[in-house]
Amino acid sequence: MDTCRIPANTSKCSGNTMECFMVLSTQAQKISIGILCGLFGTMCVFENSLVLYLIFSSPGIRKKPSYLFIGSLALADILASIIFVCSFVNFHVFNEAGFSKEVFLLQLGGVNTSFSASLSSLLLTALDRYISISRPSEYKLLMTRKRAWTALGVLWVTCATIAYLPLLGWNCCVLDSTCSELFPFVDDNYLSGWICFIMVLLGCIVYAYAHVLWRARQHVAYMEKHQAQVGKQNTRMRMDVMLAKTLVMVLAVLTLCWSPVLLLIIYSIFARLSDRLRKVFAFCSTLCLLNSMVNPIIYALRSKELFSSLRRVFSHFRRQLKASEESREAESTHKSSVIET
């Protein structure tokens, strides 16, 4: 097992550095974490998989850059849920500490990549809405599918590179520096840099959405005054305003779910955490799964195109189910007739 300099308030468990971070002390706490992770993780994977299916099974939807970014968000949430639940439950509930430093940092990098990609996908979606509302006449020329795919490629590569820096050598074992109190082997300086990266993303998203909402309010006022004259353009504006409001709801949920985790991470960089706060951090981490679970619900309720696609899928499923039942009834009637004969 790799040995690193662990925080002073966890030196009592210096026999095995990984055990210092297993903060759940009672069976009730472990069961609660297991239930939350199992419920949120399962629902998240199901809902986001459905979103991906609705997007890429509909030619009209998957051609739009806006939904490519939403698809990237759904994919990031699926990966985050799978990696987070497996590693988090294995570590905190089953207290598995037999894996190496490299394996742990690989898992942590996967979670960080997925979350960063989720946040970055929201940023691209915000920029997409910003261009659509601020420069509607040039939108199709500026935001092409090729540029959207290129932006997504750059996004995922950048997020993965930043997330896997600890695995590549920026960790407290290689540098012989003080480890974080919340994450084994993670250097506090790297954690500070990662927090700054996340804050920059959040700041850009908030700025873009502030402009989108300001322009959306102008469009609403314009539509109320010129509803009779505008026609198709009026419908386009309503769609832009609706999607902007939807994405603001997604951002609000993201902020509410991730704020406790980010605040505790920032606090841990400047001060020592008590065992109680470290337990609070473990439970707050499950809010990340809640965020990933709520996002698809917002899409289904707010996006008319996705909701219509969902209705078509359910209608097709009902028709197939009804046809299957009728087929079984006909087969049963036929068998009964044969027996009577």
Domain boundaries, the chain: 24-309
Confidence of residue 257 (pLDDT cuts 50, 70, 90): confident
Average pLDDT for residues 283-290, to the nearest whole number?
87
Q: Is the pLDDT of residue 270 over 90?
A: no
pLDDT at 159: 94
Q: Give the torsion through C-alpha atoms of 196, 201, 204, 209, to 10 deg.
A: -140
pLDDT at 110: 92
Confidence of residue 222 (pLDDT cuts 50, 70, 90): low
CA distances (Å), 39 to each of 35, 93, 201, in order?
Answer: 6, 15, 29
Confidence of residue 300 (pLDDT cuts 50, 70, 90): low
Residue 317 to residue 77: CA distance in whole angstroms: 26
Q: Is the pLDDT of residue 334 over 80?
A: no
Average pLDDT for residues 241-248, to the nearest whole number?
67
The CATH class that applies to domain 24-309 reads mainly alpha
Average pLDDT over all residues of the chain: 80
Q: Is the pLDDT of residue 113 over 90?
A: yes
pLDDT at 238: 60
pLDDT at 8: 46
Residue 98 to residue 318: CA distance in whole angstroms: 49
Lowest mean per-residue pLDDT among 175-179, 313-317, 335-339: 335-339
Regarding predicted confidence, which is higher, 96 or 129?
129
Average pLDDT for residues 291-316, to the nearest whole number?
80
Q: Is the pLDDT of residue 234 over 60?
A: no
pLDDT at 79: 93
Query: Exposed (0-12), middle (13-18) or buried (19+): which is 195, by Cβ within 10 Å?
Result: middle
Average pLDDT for residues 177-203, to the nearest whole number?
87
Q: Is the pLDDT of residue 126 over 50?
A: yes
Average pLDDT for residues 88-99, to the nearest whole number?
78
Q: Is the pLDDT of residue 20 over 60?
A: yes
pLDDT at 329: 66
Regarding predicted confidence, which is higher, 166 or 318?
166
In the chain, the percentage of residues whose pLDDT exceeds 90 is: 15
Residue 137 to residue 72: CA distance in whole angstroms: 26
pLDDT at 49: 92
Regarding predicted confidence, which is higher, 97 or 125?
125
Confidence of residue 76 (pLDDT cuts 50, 70, 90): very high
Question: pLDDT of 145-166, one tens digit each?
Answer: 899 999 999 999 999 999 999 9
Average pLDDT for residues 216-244, to the nearest whole number?
61
Lowest mean per-residue pLDDT among 25-34, 164-173, 217-226: 217-226
Task: Indicate yes or no: pTM above 0.95.
Answer: no
Residue 91 to residue 93: CA distance in whole angstroms: 6
Dihedrals φ, ψ of 285, to 5°?
-60, -30
pLDDT at 5: 54
Residue 133 to residue 237: CA distance in whole angstroms: 8
